[in-house]
Structure 1
Amino acid sequence: MGAASLVVVKAKICALYFLEESVAKALKMATPQPGATASSLVDDVFYIARKVIRRSLSTGSVDGACAVLNDVASLLEHSVAAALRGWLRAPPEPLPLPPPSGAGPDLVGLLAQRLNRDVDAQRTLFLVSCSCRGHQSRNFLPPPSGDGPDLVGLLAQRLNRDVDAQRTLFLVSCVSCRGHHSRVFLPPPSRDGPDLVGLVAQRLNSDVDAQRTLFLVHMNEAESGAEWSERLAAEACAEAEPLFRSPGEREKLQSCATGLATAAAAFRAAHELALEGIKAGLKPRLHAWADFIVNPDVDPDEMEDDADALPAALEALAAAARSQLSPRALGALLHAAAAELAAAAELLLLRRHYTQESALLVERRARRLAGWAGGAGAGPREKCARLTAAAAVLAVDHVSHAVDLRRPAVGVKELLARRTDFKMEDIKRLKL
Structure 2
Amino acid sequence: MSDTKKTEKIVGVKGMNDILPADAPLWELFENTVHTVLKSYGFQQIRTPIVEPTALFARGLGAVTDIVEKEMYSFTDSMNGDELTLRPECTASVVRAALEHNLTYDGPKRLWYSGPMFRHERPQRGRYRQFHQIGAEAIGFSGPDIDAELIMMCQRLWDDLGLQDVRLELNSIGNAEERNKHRADLISYFEQHAELLDAEAQKRLHSNPLRILDTKNPAMQEMVNAAPKLLDYLGEDSRAHFEGVQKILNHNAIPFTINPRLVRGMDYYNRTVFEWVTDQLGSQGTVCGGGRYDPLVEMFGGKPTPACGFAMGVERLLELMKASGEKFTPNQCDVYIVHQGEPAQLQASVVAERLRDAGLDVVLHCAASAGIGSFKSQMKRADNSGAAYAVIIGEDEIAKGAAVVKEMRDAEGKQSEVAFEGIADYLVDQIVGDDHDHDHADHVHYHH
TM range (shorter): under 0.3
**Would you tell me which structure has more strand in proportion to its own residues?**
2
Higher relative contact order (CA 8 A, sep 6+): 1
Larger CA Rg, structure 1 vs 2: 1
